[in-house]
């Protein structure tokens, strides 16, 4: 039986009085019937506001009782948000069995992002990646995975006990950045491992480099298996003609997006979008219920609701404004900073490494090589410009529909001031360093990623260069971006150790590697 909101007749044109923005209501197919959805609604947020205005006495969790228990410390900042910090009381639905406002909000998200079904995530894209892998893979199953994947993908493989064949991305020759998996690599891997239960790709990467996944999806589907995509950095894709298409629109079966990264949700707010019949949705929801908190944050879900409303009703206009600001900024900087050693990796025509570069990611580097990306990040911060992440050569700045003209003007001035300032110690970075990012072979050998196998054997720490040829026991992860250089179960190569050593000397932070001053140890399996 349809709920009231599914049957509510909406007018053809809706108007937001605050913005004057006109839009068409979206439609979505629910239970076999087409239903129109009013994207101006934000059912979770509106329900929380309505409850707040009732002024009820709370005899339910959380214990802060709408912020009254905060005391003086933190009261100013947290009181307002805690007024909306409810739990699964009557009328506020249940994320793990949604039949009311959360169901409505997720259906609105489905209509907005073009999925058959969308699910709110309160544990970031991490929990979505875990759930996708644990849905598609059972113990011992084989899956093909893009090597430059987030650490959560590795953890998902370990929890599933899957066997993984890593596929190397193409290295962009001009920047040395690891891009996307080539179609021919994927085709060869599927022919070599036709028993694979699925393919997992990351698109776009942290730098905004991505590929049109249509041909990849078509290829994967010939084998009757699903294409899973970590699109954490692409929630905004497809919402403006000058932006690349989303993975869903190009045929992916399940897609995770970090709504908090490139859109406007609170940190940890993400969504999982599904379409087609290749994903067992019952199993997927069971895995999400196991992995997500039984007490999900209502303020976080409300922020997902509001982020969806914002991109659905005003997204194209807002994105167009920021795109124009970015074009003006880069043209102005190029004109005023001719010869400046601080340069942007320019938008590039399609290359073997990628098909597009997201204009909302700015990749800055010192063309003289005197400032590493890590040092550049620090100097920008000293100028009041806080970047997203750095590698040995580049600093990445993430823009969004909330990036202002004033923000870009500040970045412009900061970079112009920095060119006249003192330079850092010479740092011999360049594309050749990044060749250690991916193994020499395009298609790896199967590796069993189960937790039991990595925990049963005794593990020891050995000095960095003494680890060459040993079997890695713990992922080594530069963070950010959180993409492992070494995985448990793989043999350690000299080129990777040399790369880790160079990264450490340029200021990289690691998870998994044991660091003491300038020394570094790697956790390996003890030889029997």
Average confidence (pLDDT) over 100-116: 96
Place of tokens 């007018």: 11
Place of tokens 């339910």: 60
CB atoms within 10 A of CB 309: 24
Measured CA to CA, the distance from residue 251 to residue 215 in angstroms comes to 9
Cβ 112 vs Cβ 236: under 8 Å: no
Measured CA to CA, the distance from residue 222 to residue 256 in angstroms comes to 23
pLDDT on residue 68: 74
Q: Could you tell me which of 366, 189, 273, 292 has the C-alpha nearest to residue 378?
A: 366
CB atoms within 10 A of CB 518: 8
pLDDT on residue 250: 97
pLDDT on residue 257: 98
pLDDT band at 518 (very low <50, low <70, confident <90, very high): low
pLDDT on residue 435: 36
> DSSP letters along 366-397, please?
ETTS-S-HHHHHHHHHHTT---SEE-SSEEEE
Asked whether residue 502 carries a pLDDT value surpassing 60, the answer given is yes
Asked whether residue 355 carries a pLDDT value surpassing 80, the answer given is yes
Higher pLDDT, 136 or 336: 136
Higher pLDDT, 450 or 41: 41
Cβ 126 vs Cβ 327: under 8 Å: no
Cβ 300 vs Cβ 266: under 8 Å: yes
Higher pLDDT, 517 or 290: 290
> DSSP letters along 183-244, please?
HHHHHHHHHH-TT---EEEE-S-TTSEE---HHHHHHHHHTT-PEEEE-TT-TTTTSSTTSP
The CB-side HSE value for 472 (13 A sphere, CA atoms) comes to: 26
pLDDT on residue 36: 57
Sign of CA dihedral 135, 138, 143, 147: positive
Least confident window among 69-78, 161-170, 223-232, 428-437:
428-437
Measured CA to CA, the distance from residue 221 to residue 24 in angstroms comes to 33
Average confidence (pLDDT) over 365-392: 91
Asked whether residue 74 carries a pLDDT value surpassing 90, the answer given is no
Average confidence (pLDDT) over 95-112: 96
> β-strand 254-257 against 227-230: which pairing, if any?
parallel
pLDDT band at 21 (very low <50, low <70, confident <90, very high): very low
Cβ 179 vs Cβ 483: under 8 Å: no
Instruction: For residue 123, give the 3-state DSSP assignment.
Output: coil
The token pair that represents 419 in the structure block: 């060119």
Average confidence (pLDDT) over 350-369: 91
Least confident window among 254-258, 334-338, 414-418:
334-338
Q: Could you tell me which of 91, 104, 106 has the C-alpha nearest to residue 54?
A: 91
Q: What is the mean pLDDT of the chain?
A: 85
Question: Which H or E run contains 34?
Answer: strand 33-37
Q: Could you tell me which of 39, 8, 6 has the C-alpha nearest to residue 306?
A: 39
pLDDT on residue 459: 83
The token pair that represents 230 in the structure block: 């970590």
Asked whether residue 414 carries a pLDDT value surpassing 90, the answer given is yes
CB atoms within 10 A of CB 68: 12
pLDDT on residue 423: 56
Measured CA to CA, the distance from residue 200 to residue 222 in angstroms comes to 15
- Strands (E) located in 258-296: 270-274
* CA-based end-to-end distance of the chain: 62
Measured CA to CA, the distance from residue 207 to residue 397 in angstroms comes to 9
pLDDT on residue 457: 66
Average confidence (pLDDT) over 136-156: 95
Question: Which H or E run contains 330?
Answer: helix 298-336
The token pair that represents 270 in the structure block: 């993400």
Instruction: For residue 496, give the 3-state DSSP assignment.
Output: helix
Measured CA to CA, the distance from residue 512 to residue 464 in angstroms comes to 12
Cβ 143 vs Cβ 314: under 8 Å: no
Measured CA to CA, the distance from residue 508 to residue 476 in angstroms comes to 12
Determine phi and psi for 520, rounding to 5 degrees. -150, 135
Percent of the chain with pLDDT over 90: 56
Spatial CB neighbours of 34, under 8 Å, sequence gap ≥ 6: 27, 28
> β-strand 117-121 against 270-274: which pairing, if any?
antiparallel
Measured CA to CA in angstroms, residue 430 lies from 370, 418, 498 at distances of 11, 21, 14
| CA 271, chain centre distance (Å) | 10
């Amino acid at each position: 039986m349809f709920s009231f909101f599914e049957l509510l007749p909406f007018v053809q044109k809706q108007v937001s009085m605050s913005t004057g923005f006109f839009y068409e209501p979206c439609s979505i197919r629910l239970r076999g019937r087409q239903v129109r959805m009013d994207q101006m609604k934000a059912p979770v947020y509106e329900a929380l506001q309505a409850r707040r205005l009732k002024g009820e006495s709370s005899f339910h969790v959380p214990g802060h009782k709408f912020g009254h228990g905060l005391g003086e410390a933190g009261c100013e900042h947290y009181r307002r948000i805690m007024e909306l910090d409810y739990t699964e009381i009557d009328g506020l639905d249940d994320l793990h069995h949604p039949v009311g406002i959360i169901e409505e909000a997720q259906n609105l998200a489905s209509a907005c992002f073009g999925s058959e079904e969308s699910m709110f995530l309160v544990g970031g894209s991490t929990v979505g990646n875990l759930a996708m892998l644990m849905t598609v893979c059972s113990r011992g199953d084989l899956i093909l995975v893009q090597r430059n994947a987030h650490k959560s993908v590795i953890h998902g493989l370990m929890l599933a006990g899957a066997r993984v064949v890593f596929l190397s991305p193409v290295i962009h020759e001009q920047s040395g950045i690891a891009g996307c998996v080539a179609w021919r690599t994927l085709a060869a891997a599927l022919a070599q491992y036709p028993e694979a239960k699925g393919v997992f790709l990351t698109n776009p990467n942290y730098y905004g480099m991505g590929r049109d996944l249509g041909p990849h999806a078509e290829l994967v589907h010939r084998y009757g298996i699903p294409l899973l995509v970590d699109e954490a950095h692409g929630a905004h894709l497809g919402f403006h003609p000058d932006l690349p298409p989303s993975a869903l629109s190009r045929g992916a079966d399940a897609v995770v997006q970090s709504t908090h990264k490139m859109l406007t949700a609170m940190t940890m707010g993400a969504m999982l979008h599904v379409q087609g019949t290749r994903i067992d949705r019952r199993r997927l929801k069971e895995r999400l219920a196991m992995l997500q908190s039984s007490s999900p944050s209502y303020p976080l879900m409300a922020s997902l609701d509001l982020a969806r409303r914002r991109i659905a009703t005003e997204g194209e206009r807002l994105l167009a404004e920021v795109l124009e600001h970015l074009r003006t900024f880069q043209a102005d900087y190029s004109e005023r900073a001719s010869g400046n050693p601080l340069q942007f990796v320019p938008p590039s025509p399609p290359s073997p490494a990628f098909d597009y570069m997201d204009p909302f990611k700015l990749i800055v580097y010192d063309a003289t090589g005197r400032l590493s990306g890590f040092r550049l990040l620090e100097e920008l911060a000293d100028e009041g410009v806080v970047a997203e992440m750095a590698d040995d050569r580049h600093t990445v700045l993430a823009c969004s529909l909330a990036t202002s003209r004033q923000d870009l003007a500040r970045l412009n001035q900061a970079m112009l001031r920095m060119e006249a300032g003192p330079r850092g110690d010479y740092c011999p970075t360049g594309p050749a360093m990044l060749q250690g990012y991916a193994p020499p072979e395009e298609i790896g050998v199967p590796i069993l990623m189960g937790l039991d196998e990595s925990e049963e054997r005794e593990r020891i720490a050995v000095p960095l260069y003494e680890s060459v040829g040993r079997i890695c026991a713990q992922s080594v992860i530069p963070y950010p971006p959180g993409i492992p250089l070494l995985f448990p179960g793989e043999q350690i190569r000299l080129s990777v150790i040399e790369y880790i050593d160079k990264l450490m000397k340029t200021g990289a932070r690691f998870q998994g590697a044991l660091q003491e001053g300038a020394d570094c140890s790697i956790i390996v399996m003890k030889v029997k």
